[in-house]
Chains A and B, each alone.
Chain A
Amino acid sequence: MARPILRLSPETASRIAAGEVIERPLSALKEVLENALDAGAHAVEVRVDKALDHGFLVADDGGGIAPGDLELALERHATSKLKSLDDLDLLATLGFRGEALPSIAAVSRMRITSRPAGEEAATFVAVEGGELREKGAAARAFGTTVEVRDLFFNTPARRKFLHSPGGELRAAIRMIESYALSLPTTAFRLVVDQKERFDWAAVASQRERAAQIWGQRHAEQLLEAHGERAGMRLSMLLGLPEHARSTREGQVFLVNSRWVQSPALSQALRHAYGNLLPGGRFPSAVVWLDVPADRLDVNVHPTKREVRFADDDTVFSFVAGTAAQPLTRIYPPFTVVPGRQGGDEALPAWAERVREQPVVDESQLGLALPASPASEPSPAAAHGEGATPAPAPRPAAPEPELWQLHRTYILAPVRGGLVIVDQHAAHERILYEEARARLEGTQGTAQGLLFPVLVDLTRAQFELLLEVGPHLRQLGWDLSPLSAPTVVINGVPSGLRVENPGQLLQDVLDGIGEGVPTAQDSLVERLACSHACHAAWRAGDTLSREEMRALVDKLFATSRPHGDPHGRPTFVRLDLEELHRRFGRS
């Protein structure tokens, strides 16, 4: 495996010249770790002594460095990974500039011990501030150990501007995690102050590696997506919408095995999640993307944390399109549990006793008097002949019990926990999908109004009305323009609580009017959004049990029940396990 180390031609060296500088302890670790991975290691161990700048070492079982090359490795622009500028277009290794080791060596006390395959023994070199101090033979299994101590000992000014050791270590762990995801078949171990932080054995799949890092339960929930296009290969593990974060920290991009930051990929992901997420939330995901080396420029940034794609648009649509596929199939991983049904093991026996009557029947308040002189006559009795008795009160139905909390949320017991539904967001999602369906196909029904409503629109609203009139009719509006800008509402979309038809119409028009429609499709989309937003039940609306029932049923029948059209979450799930944990039940 040991490759001979050659000097780059001055031309190549100058073209590459990125002025590689070890700007922080993390960069030193990153370079050393990448070298280990480039050497084909099957197992990498990182040990940290107190703090990264105090001392760390990286030991691998890779190809090793030939004894004669050890000193050369410490010379600037000496590398085994690149021979000429042409090779730069076909890079298959993480490093290539031949700058990292000499740069680190210049500002630390470094010791490299290596034994390539076939060698009888290992050799070592010890360097201090770039000066060779010692070299000789040592004992070691095949592979290389690079030990870096007292980083920046000779540059006191730099030492003053270091991040906190804790922050640096956290960043290091995130970096090691990323490379561990990049190479699941490589084992990773981290030891800090003689204590093992993790020891991830080599595994066969990316999902198994994810399970090692984030735990089995989380890893099982991740959605998988794969794709191939134009020589690119893509694999993804996508977090559920509820795993989204307020920063991009949850995103790991591995392009040709290299851990990079990429605004383009981040945007593609966000695009794929669409309105499953609200603004300011970022999906968590791991993206493995392999791009032909000649269509990727990694030599953009001194620390190589950024890459440039030859064809940004293709990559964007490839990633966004592939990620969107499993997301459209998101379906709630639970079912609503019917209440008062025997043999339901998900609900413990005591659940029956602590359960309260969810909806108080107003008509029974204070009237169940044993001493009352006359009992309530039934409506039928009042009618005399032929009257149909009022429907008997529903028996304690085996329907799921639902509670309305502060006239804002609906609580629904589900298998293994509780779901809390935001009534406005949920209704908005339902209405949005109904609206889309109606705008594309079957016309909605209008509830006729006994007293047609006259509305005076603004000129702008009226103009918009003329444009979207046919669409409004599809949604169930029955409108007839009077003399501009007045319109008569004869009917409103049925099934809605339309308190004030005129206001609703104006709100819907205003909602569409924001921005200039560019294409017919986007106008329809905006109308659907605006309709859903303004027609939906609001926080503060009292819902009957039937309405709650219908809301929950319909929400989970929509294609994307997790979020409203703006991406706000529609429900939150509280696991029984979580409750048990909080109450100290193990």
Chain B
Amino acid sequence: MDLTIQQGDLAFAVGRALGSVQQKSTQPLLSCVLLEADSKGLRVTGTDLDEGTSVLVPCTVRTPGKCCVLARHFHDVVRKMPKGALTLAMSGSQCEVRYADGKGWSRFPAQPADEFPRVPDLKGDMRVTLEGEVLARMIERSAYAASTEPARPQLNGVYVHGNDKFIAFVATDGHRLARTSRKGAFGELSKDGIIVPSRVLNSVAKFANEATSPVEMRIADARNHIGFATQVGEYQVQVYGRLIEGQYPNYEQVIPKDNPRELVMARTDVIEAVDIVASHADSNTQQIRFSLRDGKFSVSSATADFGAGEQSVEAEYKGENMEIGYNAKYLLQILRSIPTESVTFRLKTALSAGVIEPVGALAQTDEDMLCLIMPLRLPDAAG
């Protein structure tokens, strides 16, 4: 291996690949990034077997070759090197980097690359294309609601499905649910849909916003792997992930269609009220209370440890009096994910799922979003 590369390019590639490297790994090789030089340039890959990031950077390759270096250490050192051209070459069993016109050099112990896990080859599989910023936005509006508990792995991911009219991203942990959709022809996804680990999507979201070309989602025929590929300037970035197997719960049947009580208010007002009042809530349950009385709306909370607080919020509400409990953390995440000025709560009883939706059209008129939240059953809740 012998090549010349710009320091900024190498640092970018190694930094992104590092995003898929676990800090503590059982296999020493998984603490490394793989450096592969060929006629296309230098490809830097990091993986933890469930997820992988690979960045191809154009550069001048004199001799192709490959090796593995400790990811974090290599990254830390490369970041500090002066801007400008670097030459990478093997020197015995070490990877040598010369910088600053040959004034400086670093050598890194290198591991043989043969045993580094192979990145799945996703050629000739199903492909779906989305603009980078659209993909990033859809991830942001859904992935937060996914579960992190290992007991039900299907809920650890975002359910992506579609047909010839739309594509939808759905996530839920059983307590709240977030769904966002975009119009378009996505007939490829009509069969079942796929569950993408939210971890993989969080890695994707990081570069999707910077993408200078549409992001191509490649789904393996066996529906066991997914890859996201795009250009970020000159860099070709790909993120691979293992799909979560299993049946996603039939979420559509839990979306209430006939919640008659409508509560409309300014989103920032209710965020402020919930945020303040939650300071008095139990740190585990995060329980706050919505009180709807005679057209007036207030948020309150009381605990023995943290005292009590209440704030009234201007709201339109035409319905019967109602007391309903919520987890403030869930509520804030939902409210913060909604971009519009006002939000609507559609409620039925103090025990049934509530729908939270933006009021009016989103800036992107071909997109839509909807959130569900299950209340906390208050001891004195009725109706």
Contact = CB atoms under 8 A, between A and B. Distances in A.
Interface stretch (B6-14, B112-120, B180-188, B214-222): B6-14
A500 B232 contact: no
Chain A binding surface, main DSSP class: loop
A497 interface: yes
A478 B377 contact: yes
Contacts of B151: 499-500, 503
Contact of B140 (A379, A497, A557): A379
Contact of A367 (B19, B137, B152, B325): B19
Interface in A533-580: 546-547, 549-550, 553-554, 557
B318 interface: no
B285 A388 contact: no
Contacts of A446: 376-377
B283 A550 contact: yes
B137 A382 contact: yes
B126 interface: no
Interface string B271-297: 100000000001111110000000000
A396 interface: no
A449 interface: yes
B47 interface: no
B339 A384 contact: yes
A383 interface: yes
A451 interface: yes
B172 A450 contact: yes
Contacts of B305: 553-554, 557
Given A371-B12, A386-B341, A450 B268 contact: no
Contact of B23 (A360, A442, A476): A360
B168 interface: no
Interface residues of B, number: 64
Contacts of B340: 386
Given A371-B11, A372-B12, A450-B172, A495 B19 contact: no
Contacts of B7: 371
B12 A499 contact: no
A373 B377 contact: no
B124 interface: no
B260 interface: no
A448 B287 CA distance: 13
A367 B206 contact: yes
B353 A448 contact: yes
A495 B282 CA distance: 8
Given A442-B379, A550-B284, A383 B327 contact: no
B60 to A, nearest CB: 19
Contacts of B225: none
Nearest to A438: B379
Contact of A448 (B75, B271, B376): B376
B383 interface: no
A450 B177 contact: yes
Contact of B327 (A369, A447, A450): A447
A495 B376 CA distance: 10
A366 interface: yes
A494 interface: yes
Nearest to B249: A451
Interface string A369-387: 1111110110100111111
Interface in A490-505: 490-491, 494-497, 499-500, 503
Contacts of A554: 305
B79 A369 contact: yes
B206 A450 contact: no
Interface in B129-185: 133, 136-137, 140, 149-152, 172, 174-177
Contacts of B95: none
B62 interface: no
Interface string B38-64: 000000000000000000000000000
B379 A369 contact: no
Contacts of A397: none
A471 to B, nearest CB: 14
Contacts of B18: 365-366
Interface in A426-454: 442-451
B351 A448 contact: yes
8 contacts: A366-B71, A369-B11, A373-B210, A382-B209, A448-B377, A449-B374, A549-B283, A553-B305
Given A386-B341, A553-B305, 8 more contacts: A369-B79, A387-B336, A445-B285, A447-B175, A449-B175, A451-B174, A550-B284, A554-B305
Interface of A: 360, 365-367, 369-374, 376-377, 379, 382-388, 390, 442-451, 476, 478, 490-491, 494-497, 499-500, 503, 546-547, 549-550, 553-554, 557
Nearest 6 pairs of A and B residues by beta carbon: A499-B151, A366-B18, A495-B284, A448-B374, A495-B285, A371-B8
